[in-house]
Amino acid sequence: MQAQHPLDTRLPEMMRSGRRLRGIFNGLPAPAIVEMCAYAGFAFVIIDNEHGSADLQTTEHMLRAARGSGIIPLVRCLEHDIPRILDMGASGVQIPMVNTAADAERLVRRVRYPLPGGGGGARGSAFSSRAAGYGAFGGPAHTARSNDGIALVVMIETPEGVDNAGAIAAVPGVDAVFIGPNDLSHSMGHENRWTDAPVQQAIERALKAVAAAGNCPGILATSAADEERYAAWGARYFANVASGIITQALRQAARPA
């Protein structure tokens, strides 16, 4: 029997396909939630290590749950965690607060392995990790599989990022650019009111700039109406939030009949 490779590499091609992708943020430290998201039909799950409470060991268990249930796992993490998250076998990383093309170029180098003759990136190489099957899938094949199959999603969450959206999206190695509406709203002085007209105008400008650069624009979409509005501006990588969905369902169940 041939063992399944631990690294799911479908995401970059899906992002280039032009079709809509629907996923979900999960900040709850529970592999069962990841499996539930898979069985519900989401294409990808973003394990949220920026705002969630999972430690690295639990994160690795959630990546195993994703591989076993068939959902593509990304991890939203801070830049310094990229090496360990990738060695655990994440299919992609989603990095917050990217403001310039130079920021994006630095992240590409952290995600990609160096190539023979120069080029590629600066990711440290170890074949003892889960991503390489603890040595079972190491060597040049692992390097190529990782460089080709791991997605880098960068997040725009400030007015500076909006101004540079086209340049960020044009950086080779950036697979998608995700607009974070809550942080963008706060950074623009609108607190959490991202439906305010100035914030929506900034979101529209950023999404259209990413699409014009030929990249995959993404954004939070918590309703069908959100998705349709943002799709009209070019978005096609959409994410809801697991904790919000669960809390809403619990509220409904707690109400008297």
Would you name the residues annotated as active-site residues?
51
Q: Would strands 21-26 and 92-95 be described as parallel, antiparallel, or unpaired? A: unpaired
Report helix angle 56-69 to 31-40, nearest 10. Answer: 30
Residue 120 burial (C-beta neighbours within 10 Å; 0-12, 13-18, 19+): middle
Residue 76, strand partner residues: 48, 94
Helix (H) or strand (E) holding 163: helix 159-163
| Rounded Cα distance, 7 and 60, in Å | 12
Ordered DSSP codes for 106-147 = HHHHHHSPB-TTS-B--PPP-SSSGGGGGGTT-SHHHHHHHH
How many other C-beta atoms lie within 10 A of the C-beta of residue 177? 31
